C-alpha cells in the first residue's frame, strides 16, 4: 500500500512531526516557498486583474522534482505547512507545482507540534483556505508593484541597491516625519529641586521632590531661579505634613502574542525582532531533548491572540500551587480578551507542556534559546497567578514656602511578580516609618536640570 506524503516547510519540523506519525507516512520538507514572482520582471499583469505570473524558485527545482515524484506515488498528500497566510500560500503553491489532484490534496493545521495536536489534525484534514491564499497573494502583488516602480527611482536619486516596499516605504516616511518634528522642537530649560531628608534622630534617609511653592505648582525654567529657591528653603524647618497610605494591586500581564514577545525580548534580552522570531521558530519546530528526541517546546509564534486552550490552563493551574504554593493560585482562571480582529482559533504563545520548566530543558538548548523559552514560560505561568498587592505611601513634607512630596511602595504580596518581575516607577523608593508633625533633618537640597 502506498504511503501518504506529508509536506512541511523545514527539515527540523519534518523530524519532529515524523515521530508522531506511523509507518504509513513519509514526511518531507519543501524548504519554504517553492514558487514566487520572477526576479527580473514585474510578474504581474496589471491590465488583466493584476494576475500574478509565478515561476519555480531556482534553488527549489530539485526539491520540486523529488516531491513531484513522491506525490505521484502517494495515496494522499497532506500539506502540513504553518497555519498563517504564508503557510496557506505555500500549501497552495505546492499543489500547483506538484500537479496534485484536488481529491488527493489534504490540508492539516496545528497550533503546536505535540503528539495530541498532530494526531487530532490528521484525523480531521480539510482543504486549502483560498481566502488566506488570496490575502497573501494581494500582499505579495502589492509588494512587487510598489517595489518594482519605486526602487529604480531610489537608485537614480540616492544610490544603487536601495529597495522600496509596501510597508517599509511608509515606515520610512513616518520615521522621517518624526525626525523632522524632533529637530524642529525648541528645547526649554526645566529645573527640579530634591530634598534629601532624614527623620530626626534616625538613620534611614529618603528623597522628596518640591511640588509647590507659595501654594502654586513649582516651575523653574532658569538655573538662577532654582538656586534662589534653594537658598531660601535651606533655612526652613522640615516637618512631615501628611502621610497617606492605600493598598493597590497589580494584575498579571496576559501571555505573549507576537508583538509583545518581540517587545519584551528586545527590552529584557536585547534581541532584535528578527532574532526573536528565528529563535521562536526553532522552539516551535522542535529541539532535540536527548531521550525524548525532537520536541516542539512552544505554540505557533505568529499570532495576535492571547487565548489559552483549556488543557493548557488546567496544566498551569496544577503547576502553580505545586511549585509556588496555593496562595499564588486565583480561585478562577485569569481570562484575557484578544484585540479586535484576532483569530480565536489561534492561541497565545505558550509552552506546549508547562511541566517542562526552563531549567529542566536547559542542557539541550543554546543560551539564546534558553533565554527566550524562559521568558515565554515565565510570562505564561505568571498570567495565571494572583495579582501582586502593595501598600502605596505618599508623604507631604512642609518646609517654609515649599511643599515637598515623596512616594514609596511596600510589597504586601508578590503574586505574579515572583515570575514577571516588579516594575518600579521612577520616583519610587523605600520610605522609613513616618508620622504627621514628625521633624526631619535636611541633609541636602539639590537643584537639577
Per-residue burial over 103-118, b if 16 or more Cβ lie within 10 Å, else e, is ebbbbbbbbbbbeebb
For CATH 1.10.290.10, the residue range(s) in the chain are 258-382
Cβ(255)–Cβ(350) below 8 Å: yes
Residue 188: predicted pLDDT: 83
> Mean pLDDT over residues 373-393, rounded?
97
Contacts of 303 (CB under 8 A, 6+ apart): 257, 258, 342, 343, 346, 347, 348, 349
Look at domain 192-251+388-448 and name its CATH class. Answer: mainly beta
pLDDT of 345 higher than 70: no
Residue 354: predicted pLDDT: 98
pLDDT digits (tens, 9 = 90+) for 50-76: 999 999 999 999 999 999 999 999 999
Cβ(373)–Cβ(361) below 8 Å: yes
**What does the alpha-carbon distance between residue 319 and residue 167 come to, in Å, rounded to a whole number?**
42
Using pLDDT thresholds of 50, 70 and 90, give the confidence band for residue 1: low
Using pLDDT thresholds of 50, 70 and 90, give the confidence band for residue 422: confident
Q: CB-side exposure of 108: number of CA atoms within 13 Å?
A: 22
pLDDT of 33 higher than 90: yes
Q: What percent of the chain has pLDDT over 70?
A: 97
The grid coordinates of residue 228 equal 534662589
Contacts of 109 (CB under 8 A, 6+ apart): 80, 83, 87, 121, 126
Beta-strand pair 294-295/428-429: unpaired
Choose among 154, 98, 196: nearest CA to 404: 196
Angle, helices 85-97/130-157, rounded to nearest 10 degrees = 100
For CATH 3.40.50.140, the residue range(s) in the chain are 4-136
Residue 252: predicted pLDDT: 96
Secondary structure in 3-state letters for the chain: CCCEEEEECCHHHHHHHHCCCCCCEEEEECCCCCEECCCCCCCEECCCCCEECCEECHHHHHHHHHHHHHHHHCCCEEECCCCCHHHHHHHHHHHHHCCCCCCCEEECCCCCCCHHHHHHHHHCCECCCHHHHHHHHHHHHHHHHHHHHHHHHHHHHCCCCCCCCCCHHHHHHHHHHHHHHHHHCCCCCCEEEEEEEEECCCCCCEEEEEEEECCEECCECCHHHHHHHHHHHCCCCEEEEEEEEEEEEECCCCCECHHHHHHHHHHHHCCCHHHHHHHHHHHHHCEECHHHCEECCECCCCCCCCCCCHHHHHHHHHHHHHHCCHHHCCCCCCCCCCCCCCCCCCCCECECCCCCCHHHHHHHCCHHHHHHHHHHHHHHHHCCCCCEEEEEEEEEEEECCEEEEEEEEEEEECCCHHHHCCCCCCCEECCCCCCCCCEEEEEEEEEEC
Using pLDDT thresholds of 50, 70 and 90, give the confidence band for residue 337: confident
Using pLDDT thresholds of 50, 70 and 90, give the confidence band for residue 22: confident
User: In this predicted structure, which of 28-42, 104-118, 376-390, 420-434 has the lowest mean pLDDT?
Assistant: 420-434
pLDDT digits (tens, 9 = 90+) for 283-323: 999 999 999 999 999 999 999 999 999 999 999 999 999 99
pLDDT of 424 higher than 80: no
Q: Is 300 a catalytic residue?
A: yes
- Rg, C-alpha atoms of the chain: 30
Residue 343: predicted pLDDT: 54
Pick one of 3.40.50.140, 3.40.50.2300, 3.40.50.300, 3.40.640.10 as the CATH number of 4-136: 3.40.50.140
**What does the alpha-carbon distance between residue 25 and residue 17 come to, in Å, rounded to a whole number?**
10
pLDDT digits (tens, 9 = 90+) for 149-197: 888 888 988 888 888 888 888 999 999 999 999 999 988 889 999 999 9
> Mean pLDDT over residues 406-417, rounded?
94
Q: Distance between alpha carbon 51 and the CA centroid of its chain, in Å?
A: 36
For CATH 2.70.20.10, the residue range(s) in the chain are 192-251+388-448
Query: Mean pLDDT for the chain?
Result: 94
Q: Which of 284, 300, 328, 373 is catalytic?
A: 300
> Mean pLDDT over residues 3-7, rounded?
95
Choose among 391, 423, 397: nearest CA to 410: 391
Domain 258-382, CATH? 1.10.290.10
pLDDT of 236 higher than 80: yes
**What does the alpha-carbon distance between residue 385 and residue 405 come to, in Å, rounded to a whole number?**
33
Amino acid at each position: 500500500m502506498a504511503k501518504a506524503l506529508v509536506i512541511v516547510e523545514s527539515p527540523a519540523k519534518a523530524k519532529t512531526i515524523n515521530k508522531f506519525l506511523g509507518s504509513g507516512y513519509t514526511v518531507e520538507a519543501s524548504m519554504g516557498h517553492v514558487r514566487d514572482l520572477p526576479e527580473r520582471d514585474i510578474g504581474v499583469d496589471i491590465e488583466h486583474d493584476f494576475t500574478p505570473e509565478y515561476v519555480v524558485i531556482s534553488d527549489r527545482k530539485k526539491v520540486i522534482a523529488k516531491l513531484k515524484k513522491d506525490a505521484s506515488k502517494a495515496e494522499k498528500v497532506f500539506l502540513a505547512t504553518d497555519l498563517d497566510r504564508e503557510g496557506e500560500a505555500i500549501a497552495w503553491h505546492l499543489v500547483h507545482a506538484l500537479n496534485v489532484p484536488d481529491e488527493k490534496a489534504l490540508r492539516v493545521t496545528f497550533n503546536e507540534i505535540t503528539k495530541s495536536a498532530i494526531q487530532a489534525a490528521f484525523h480531521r484534514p480539510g482543504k486549502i483556505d483560498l481566502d488566506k491564499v488570496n490575502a497573501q497573494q494581494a500582499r505579495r502583488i502589492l509588494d512587487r508593484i510598489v517595489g518594482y516602480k519605486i526602487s529604480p527611482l531610489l537608485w537614480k536619486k540616492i544610490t544603487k541597491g536601495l529597495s522600496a516596499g509596501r510597508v517599509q516605504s511608509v515606515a520610512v516616511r513616518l520615521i522621517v516625519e518624526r525626525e523632522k518634528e524632533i529637530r524642529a522642537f525648541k528645547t526649554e530649560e526645566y529645573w527640579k529641586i530634591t530634598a534629601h531628608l532624614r527623620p530626626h534622630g534616625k538613620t534611614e534617609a529618603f528623597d522628596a521632590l518640591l511640588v509647590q511653592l507659595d501654594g502654586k505648582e513649582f516651575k523653574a525654567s532658569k538655573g538662577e531661579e532654582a538656586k534662589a529657591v534653594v537658598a531660601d528653603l535651606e533655612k526652613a524647618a522640615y516637618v512631615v505634613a501628611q502621610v497617606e497610605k492605600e493598598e493597590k494591586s497589580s494584575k498579571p500581564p496576559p501571555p505573549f502574542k507576537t508583538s509583545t514577545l518581540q517587545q519584551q525580548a528586545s527590552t529584557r534580552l536585547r534581541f532584535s525582532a528578527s532574532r526573536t522570531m528565528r529563535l521562536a521558530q526553532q522552539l516551535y519546530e522542535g529541539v532535540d531533548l536527548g531521550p525524548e528526541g525532537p520536541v516542539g517546546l512552544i505554540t505557533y509564534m505568529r499570532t495576535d491572540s492571547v487565548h489559552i486552550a483549556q488543557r493548557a490552563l488546567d496544566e498551569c493551574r496544577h503547576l502553580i500551587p505545586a511549585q509556588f504554593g496555593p496562595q499564588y493560585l486565583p480561585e478562577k482562571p485569569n481570562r484575557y480578551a484578544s484585540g479586535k480582529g484576532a483569530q480565536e482559533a489561534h492561541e497565545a504563545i505558550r509552552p506546549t507542556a508547562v511541566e517542562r520548566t526552563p531549567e529542566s530543558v536547559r542542557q539541550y538548548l543554546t543560551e539564546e534559546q534558553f533565554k527566550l523559552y524562559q521568558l515565554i514560560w515565565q510570562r505564561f505561568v505568571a498570567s495565571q497567578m494572583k495579582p501582586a498587592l502593595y501598600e502605596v505611601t505618599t508623604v507631604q513634607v512642609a518646609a517654609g514656602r515649599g511643599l515637598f512630596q515623596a512616594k514609596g511602595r511596600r510589597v504586601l504580596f508578590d503574586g505574579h511578580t515572583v515570575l514577571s518581575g516588579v516594575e518600579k516607577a521612577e520616583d519610587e523608593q523605600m520610605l522609613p516609618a513616618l508620622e504627621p508633625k514628625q521633624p526631619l533633618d535636611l541633609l541636602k537640597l539639590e537643584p537639577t536640570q
